[in-house]
Amino acid sequence: MKYFIVDAFTDKQFAGNPAGVCLLPKWLDSKTMQIIAAENNLSETAFIVRQENKYELRWFTPEIEVDLCGHATLASAFVIFNFVDQEARNVCFSSKSGLLNVTKRNNMYEMDFPARKPIPTEISLQISQAIGMPVLEAHAARDLLLLMENEKLIRDFVPNFELLKEIQGYLGIIITAQGDNVDFVSRFFTPNAGVPEDPVTGSTHSSLIPFWADRLGKAKMTAKQLSKRGGTLLCENCGDRVKISGNAVLYLRGEIAIE
């Protein structure tokens, strides 16, 4: 199969979030795709099969299949626009989270995702101990969203992954605060999915965008994920949908041989 590695949410190599993209003529069994994702050892590997006028899309971490992944969707669209159908300006993916449209706008890729507005939840003793610093608010959706006082706390946070693993019931834990030079910042941890800290996470912004839109009274926002690699996301709140835009660059193009 044709295989690509694309750095998403960045305009330069070795930044943003690298995603593997596998172009398949037909679906492999889930076990084989999971083994390939583990061998690739990236936070996500996307698998794509073309079906008439759209593409079916699935995402795997090194350990599990997930229901939604932003950076690997952006990377998949990048591959289609640049190596499969260079005349296209829009691509539609069929996924476990429904239909996901990606539009190419100059050198940016705009993804249309479902909104997942988090709801307030208790700041448990377990959460407080795992984070080890004051948590202002806790909100729950697919992920646990924890509001902190400022950007410096987000940037300086040193995660205790053994304690974070004990927080059950969520795919991962988001810590977020209002940004100093952007609207909001975040970091994202998924130690139970084989990805201790994800560099830049589009899917978490399905929750972060409606959360911060309400607080800031803004529909359009700029966000940064403050991982070591870092990345920038242009965000728009559209009610029951969100739009997430970013750049992407190619790192690797090759083939995977399955015997």
The catalytic position among 44, 110, 151, 197 is 44
Can 44 be counted among the known catalytic residues? Answer: yes
Closest by CA to 36, choosing from 8, 1, 81, is 1
Q: How many CB atoms lie within 10 A of CB 68?
A: 21
DSSP string, 68-86: --HHHHHHHHHHIIIII-T
Which stretches of 96-178 are DSSP H helices?
125-131, 151-156, 161-165
Please, are residues 106 and 245 in contact by the beta-carbon 8 Å criterion? Answer: no
Map residue 129 onto helix, strand or coil. helix
DSSP β-bridge partners for residue 159: none
Phi, psi of 216 (to 5 degrees): -95, -10
Active site residues: 44
